[in-house]
Amino acid sequence: MVGCPRVYQRGTSALERTGGSDSYVPYEKQTRSGKEETMSKLTNEEMTALIEKAVAGDKQSLETVLCGVQDLVFNLSLRMLGTFPDAEDASQDILLKVMTHLSSFKGESAFSTWVFRIAANHLKNYKKHMFAKFPLSFEYYGNDIENADLRDVPDLTQDVEQAILAEELKLSCTNVMLQCLDAESRCIFILGTMFKIDSRIAGDILGISPEAYRQRLVRVRRKVADFLSEYCGEYGSGKCRCADRVNYAIQNHRISPEHLSFTSASISGQTALEVKEAMEEIDGLSQVFSFCKTYQPPEDLKKFIEDFLGGASCSVVTNASAAGNADRV
């Protein structure tokens, strides 16, 4: 990984910015995965009815809608922005935007496609994350791998197992590596490689033709694969080995034994709800990108939804949606 500081403290949350309270009691003690499963089994007519109820101010329906897409929103945010704190903050902003513009969903595409479009547009222009301040490049990344001085670095593991820290570094490094791509290319890579969305739907999300999307996806996947092949010893034939760089990474604030974001997060079995379709195998590189897993959103994100729905600002948002706010997002 490259030499930029890791930020562990979250900024002001969207809930704090909108003045929400924490008095809301969820309508049922249903798990996040349960609500996602409910969403994924709905027919188009049932989904439309649920959204209409949410737009009309029914908080139970609105909670089901938001919990059903939070997995999608958080994982896209995590890959686009690089860190868990930034992904959580951006996810809150996106979920607020989904709520505000819910009445503009007309059912012309799958609901998750509509949410993807909102999230992708928001994240491509998001400037509050750490790597907007410390932009990366493959050249800089490669130079750090080639020239980092690993000698005489003290043991900084704080009694955490070396294997756990090496795994944390591997997962963090491959995620942050995506910051070497420009925002549009990064989004194309994530949609095609992690969410495995077919070219027709991905083109619709990004506003480009399926053919243009496939061509750009091939190029960006090859660019990432070539870098991994040259430098990475975990996913390619390079000399970089995570186990050898653990203390160096800790010393340079790239991972912390006290904040194991990736290895402490739960892997999610959900991907992209109704847009979960097999991506065309266009380049034979799927195994190279096996690190592209989806994670369950932090519990704080679920609590944000519950707190917001119980706050006074929820009425402002639902009233705006009910009034037919159809601004372009």
Q: pLDDT confidence of 319, banded at 50, 70, 90?
A: low
- State pLDDT tens for residues 57-99: 899 999 999 999 999 999 999 999 999 999 999 999 999 999 9
Q: Which amino acid is at 213?
A: Y
Closest CA to 186 of 197, 196, 175: 175
Percent of the chain whose predicted confidence (pLDDT) is above 90 = 56
Instruction: Give me the pLDDT at residue 13, please.
Output: 42
Which DSSP helix (H) or strand (E) runs through 61? Answer: helix 59-81
Q: Which residues pair with 43 in a beta bridge?
A: none
Distance CA 186, CA 42 (A): 31
Instruction: Give me the pLDDT at residue 293, please.
Output: 78
SS (H, E, C) 230-296: HHECCCCCCCECHHHCHHHHHHCCCCECCECCCCCCCECCCCCHHHCCCCCCCCCCHHHHCCCCCEC
Mean pLDDT of all residues in the chain? 81
Does residue 165 register a pLDDT over 80?
yes
Count other Cβ atoms within 10 Å, centred on residue 12. 9
Instruction: Give the residue with greater pLDDT, 228 vs 36.
Output: 228
Does residue 44 register a pLDDT over 90?
no
With beta carbons less than 8 A apart as the criterion, state whether 54 and 274 touch. Answer: no
Does residue 30 register a pLDDT over 50?
no
Could you tell me the sign of the dihedral formed by the alpha carbons of 54, 58, 60, 63, in that order? positive
Structure tokens at 291: 């690190």
